[in-house]
């Protein structure tokens, strides 16, 4: 596969796959699988933040602020300085990579990213291969079909991974597939669990109808500036809020908040949690009604850092509820 890809690149440019999908759908799980690929493909992955990527420590070669290098030749970069700069960094490397994968944020409209590659800037050095959209089969419901970003992610998809099929009943899967079909006629839908899909089914599949986007690019540039800011977050009523504290949570109060007080409008939450009486840091991930926590050692002084993304949230109320879960200064002093 490698020799073929390399000769193709000389002719057509580096193949690019865009992975999009709503908050918590499984994009990162898919990326982790691609990064651990056994096909000897040297893949570069561009992400918005490393925090989510669970890099296998045995593969890790070097790590700096915005680039991680793996022993299998794959690299992972953050899009800190903007997408265009990040792509140039990959293209200008001495050690060439075979493949470029870009993960969009969960509430992004993929069009500006698509147009970056069909536009003049990268037209000769890259080839847009496919747009893969990951859908959470269990949590994706009628409300998502009211979301401009969610609909765009489906309508621009060349392939849809209907993920977490083990959590959804067959009727729900059939209903979702027919709803998706109304937005994307003839959509290629793969049913997956944990985004387990053979890499050959999603990479180098040549599905993006590049010509169809060329005209759209002219129009888009005419109406937008080149910074490609996406305003869908505000359009859809989504907001992101963060919470930090240098006092620990009372574990029982925090659990009560999660199970009884967390607003349904929170689609996604993640962060690092400090519980009173625990020497470990707890890595917290929430997607819809499901959450999990993993623990490891602190690498910095303990603190709480949480981010919540949802629709029509009341940040002040959530902050107050979280503050109520913190141990008081007096308790903390007594116990430590």
Residues 7/120, Cβ–Cβ less than 8 Å: no
- Domain 2-233 and domain 237-335 have a common topology: no
Q: Is pLDDT of 6 > 60?
A: no
For 86-99, what is the mean pLDDT? Answer: 86
Q: Which of 21-30, 152-161, 201-210: highest mean pLDDT?
A: 152-161
Q: Is pLDDT of 52 > 60?
A: no
What burial class does residue 169 get, using C-beta atoms within 10 Å of its C-beta: 0-12 exposed, 13-18 middle, 19+ buried? exposed
Q: Is pLDDT of 229 > 80?
A: no
Q: How confident is the model at residue 316 (pLDDT cuts 50, 70, 90)?
A: very high
Stretch among 175-184, 223-232, 246-255 having the lowest mean pLDDT: 223-232
Please name the helix (run of DSSP H) or strand (run of DSSP E) that holds residue 307, with its range, or none: strand 304-311
Question: How many helices (H) and strands (E) would you count in the chain?
Answer: 12, 14
In this prediction the pTM is 0.67
Residues 101/19, Cβ–Cβ less than 8 Å: yes
Please name the helix (run of DSSP H) or strand (run of DSSP E) that holds residue 335, with its range, or none: helix 329-335
For 182-203, what is the mean pLDDT? Answer: 83
CATH 3.30.460.80, domain 2-233, yes or no: no
What is 237-335's CATH number? 3.30.1220.10
Q: What are the domain boundaries of the chain?
A: 2-233, 237-335
Contacts of residue 336, defined as CB under 8 A and 6 or more positions apart, other chains included, come to none
Minimal CA–CA distance to 11: which of 162, 152, 206?
Answer: 206
Minimal CA–CA distance to 16: which of 126, 156, 157?
Answer: 126
pLDDT in tens, 141-191: 767 666 777 888 888 888 899 898 889 888 888 888 888 888 888 778 888
């Amino acid at each position: 596969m490698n020799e073929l890809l390399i000769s193709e690149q000389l002719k057509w440019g580096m193949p690019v796959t865009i992975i999009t999908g709503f908050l918590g759908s499984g994009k990162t799980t898919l990326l982790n699988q691609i990064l651990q690929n056994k096909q000897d493909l040297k893949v570069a992955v561009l992400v918005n933040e490393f925090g989510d990527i669970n890099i296998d420590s045995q593969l890790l070669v070097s790590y700096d602020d915005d680039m991680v290098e793996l022993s299998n030749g794959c690299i992972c970069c953050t899009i800190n300085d903007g997408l265009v700069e990040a792509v140039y960094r990959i293209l200008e490397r001495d050690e060439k990579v075979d493949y470029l994968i870009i993960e969009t944020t969960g509430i992004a409209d993929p069009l500006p990213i698509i147009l970056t590659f069909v536009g003049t800037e990268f037209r000769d050095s890259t080839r847009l291969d496919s747009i893969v959209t990951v859908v959470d089969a269990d949590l994706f419901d009628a409300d998502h079909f009211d979301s401009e970003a969610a609909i765009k992610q489906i309508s621009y998809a060349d392939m849809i991974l209907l993920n977490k099929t083990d959590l959804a009943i067959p009727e729900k899967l059939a209903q979702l597939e027919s709803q998706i079909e109304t937005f994307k006629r003839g959509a290629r839908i793969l049913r997956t669990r944990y985004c387990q899909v053979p890499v050959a089914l999603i990479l180098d599949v040549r599905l993006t109808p590049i010509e169809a986007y060329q005209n759209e690019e002219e129009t888009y540039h005419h109406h937008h500036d080149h910074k490609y800011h996406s305003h869908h977050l505000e359009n859809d009523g989504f907001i992101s809020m963060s919470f930090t504290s240098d006092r620990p949570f009372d574990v029982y109060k925090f659990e009560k908040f999660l199970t009884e007080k967390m607003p349904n409008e929170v689609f996604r939450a993640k962060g690092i949690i400090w519980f009173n009486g625990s020497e470990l840091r707890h890595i917290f991930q929430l997607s819809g009604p499901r959450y999990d926590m993993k623990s490891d050692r602190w690498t910095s002084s303990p603190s709480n850092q949480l981010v919540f993304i949802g629709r029509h949230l009341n940040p002040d109320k959530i902050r107050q509820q979280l503050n109520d879960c913190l141990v008081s200064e007096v308790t903390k002093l007594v116990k430590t």
